[in-house]
Amino acid sequence: MRTAPDIIFSRQADGARDYISDRFYEYTGATKGSANGFGWLDFVHPEDTQRSMSQWMHCVQSGDNYESEYRIRGRDGQFRWFRARAVPIRDFEGKIVKWYGTCSDIHDSKLLEQSIRDSAIELERLVDDRTAALRRLSGRLLTMQDDERRRIARELHDGLGQELAAAKMMLDGIVEKNSAQSNRRAATEASETIDRAIQQVRSLSHLLHPPLLDEVGLLSALQWYLDGLTKRSGIETSLDVQPPEFPRLTVELETAIFRIIQEALTNVYRHSGAQKAWVTLMQHEKRVVVKIQDDGKGIEHPIAELHPGSIGIGIGGMNQRAKEFGGELRLLNADPGTVVEVDIPSLSPQPQKTHAMA
């Protein structure tokens, strides 16, 4: 026992120590016999005394095996971690007559364990910081994308659109003045071609950034977009707004909601095979809830769970837009169809900028 690396001890049925090996006295520098009874507690770290004693007395009363970790002061005044274990010895009637146990030095492994925990915490902090930085960058990129769409829309409408309109007026003038039938026919066909080009420019400009979004707000822009989608795709769409007197939101939030709905309905058109789609916009207790539902074929489970390897750029962009405003994107199979739901904290409205677009 003198050469055993662990401290060996025995206790009476009431929990008081009646034997402890020389290893304890060698480590602590205590006087032989001073650790008997409950004297060993004098060498336990003050922060661990109450806990270790409570654990021990619980085992004495319940008869459960004992295990506890605590720090013991060495002869140099430094504390090291030990793990104590003890088992009860019972008589033929099942009554505890003795406890035998060991106390093992686990200080090095404890320090390693703490170091690993600290490293994990630091790594998690670095990951959180990097994730936050990426989210900020993603938010800036989304804002820049929206600003660029707005700029391109204005350039198309005010630049190329005006040039085409001027060319059409000149052709119309040629038609009026030229009496030659062949020339009139050619000019008329050219005018009709420019008419179609003007319409395409206007449609592209409005899809890039609907002027109604800046001028009169989200609801008008959504209704315009849904009407156009129904005409182009044949998908029957409807818009339900609750409450009917839906308030204006910040410019940024209205743009984000419009883009989320636009992307969701684009997915409905491309992938769902749906005949109908419903858009619901609700404000409740300072939150805005957007729901887009269709009667198509639904989505696969990994997509509904937003698994990174399963979602495309469109759904990823919707998710990121929601997160930028502290919101959450949810995808559900509706059987039939799919439900896209976004829950976002609403923000107070800001003064709206207007961009005149004829």
DSSP calls for 15-82: S-EEEE-HHHHHHH-PPTTTTTBTGGGGGB-HHHHHHHHHHHHHHHHH-PPEEEEEEEE-TTS-EEEE
Question: Closest by alpha carbon to 282, among 218, 332, 237?
Answer: 218
Q: Rounded to the nearest 10 degrees, how much is the dihedral formed by the CA atoms of 118, 119, 121, 125?
A: 140
Structural Rg of the chain based on CA atoms: 38
Q: Are 293 and 278 contacting, i.e. CB atoms less than 8 angstroms apart?
A: yes
Q: In the structure encoding, which two tokens stand for residue 318, read together?
A: 């919707």
Residue 42 is encoded by which pair of tokens? 């004098």
Q: With 0-12 CB in 10 A as exposed, 13-18 as middle and 19+ as buried, what is 191?
A: middle
Question: 257, 290 in Cβ contact below 8 A?
Answer: yes
- Please list, in sequence order, all residues whose beta carbon lies within 8 angstroms of the beta carbon of residue 287, skipping any fewer than 6 positions away: 343, 344, 345, 346
3-state secondary structure of 91: coil
- Of 245, 316, 328, 241, the closest CA to residue 280 belongs to 241
What is the residue whose two structure tokens read 């979602």? 311
- Through-space distance between the first and last CA atoms of the chain, rounded to whole angstroms: 98
User: Tokens 């630091």 correspond to what residue?
Assistant: 122
Which pTM was predicted?
0.47
Cα separation of 270 and 276, whole Å? 13
53, 41 Cβ separation under 8 angstroms: yes
DSSP 130-154: HHHHHHHHHHHHHHHHHHHHHHHHH
Residue 44 has a pLDDT of 92
Lookup: tokens for 249: 């939101």
Print burial letters for 254-268: b (CB count within 10 Å at least 16), e (below 16).
Answer: bbbbbbbbbbbbebb
Q: DSSP H helical segments within 209-270, as ranges? A: 211-215, 218-233, 251-267
Q: pLDDT truncated to tens, each residue of the chain (358 aa)?
A: 343 478 999 988 888 888 889 899 999 999 888 888 778 888 999 999 999 889 988 998 899 999 999 999 999 999 999 999 999 999 998 899 999 999 999 999 888 988 898 898 988 888 888 877 776 766 676 666 666 666 666 656 555 556 666 666 666 666 566 556 656 666 666 677 777 766 666 555 555 556 667 677 888 888 888 888 888 788 899 999 998 888 888 888 888 898 889 888 888 888 888 899 999 999 887 889 999 999 998 888 788 777 777 777 778 888 888 888 888 999 888 878 899 999 998 764 544 443 333 3
Report DSSP state, residue 105.
E
Predicted pLDDT of residue 166 = 64
pLDDT value of position 266? 83
Per-residue pLDDT at 250: 86
